[in-house]
Amino acid sequence: MDDRVRIFLCAVGGAGLFGLLGAVFGAAAGANLRAGGRAAGGWLGLAAARALERVRGRELPEVAAGAVVGGVDGVAFLGVVGTVFGLVYGYVGERHREMLLNLALAVGLLAVGAAVLGTMASGLVRAGVWGIGVVFVAALGGAALGARLAGVPGLFYGATIGFGVGALVGIVRGSARPVSPAEEDEADMER
């Protein structure tokens, strides 16, 4: 295969793969922000949402608008990053490609970890002090049980599993908790 064709195909492939990741993560983040009453987005995403509203003839629901804005911004940003990565990947020799693939995998895992921890942190903030307490107790309990069952390696695995279970319980408990009288008073004052 000709070098120019290989470089072009690598650039298109990188733009497509990275752009897809950007669209998914951006749409999820934008929808989550709008659902929480906040708004974010760049000029490109906001312009796409306005254009979609013009075509539809009515406004988008808040969460849908957040998903559109975040998705367009994500695909634009990571599409450019993927294009550059694809160009570099296609241009370098065979011996450097494995290193670039490992680098891309590390960046991908970092992005997934950031998305998971950010979502969990957002849920725990809504859950309040009791939600964080549940996570703490579950992580310590999991660490103790893991250490008892499997020694030092079990300590890490038990703490990780306990942290995950505690976060899940904290988020579910926090979303199901009743509204406090102080929160009701604040809502009445805003009306």
Amino acid at 75: V
As a whole number of angstroms, the distance between CA 188 and CA 191 comes to 5
Could you read off the pLDDT of 25-42 as tens digits, one per residue? 889 888 888 887 888 788
Average pLDDT over residues 161-181: 68
As a whole number of angstroms, the distance between CA 74 and CA 59 comes to 22
**pLDDT-based confidence at 81, cuts 50/70/90?**
very high
Domain boundaries, the chain: 1-91, 117-191
Is the CB of residue 170 less than 8 Å from the CB of residue 128?
A: no
Question: Per-residue pLDDT for 179 more than 80?
Answer: no
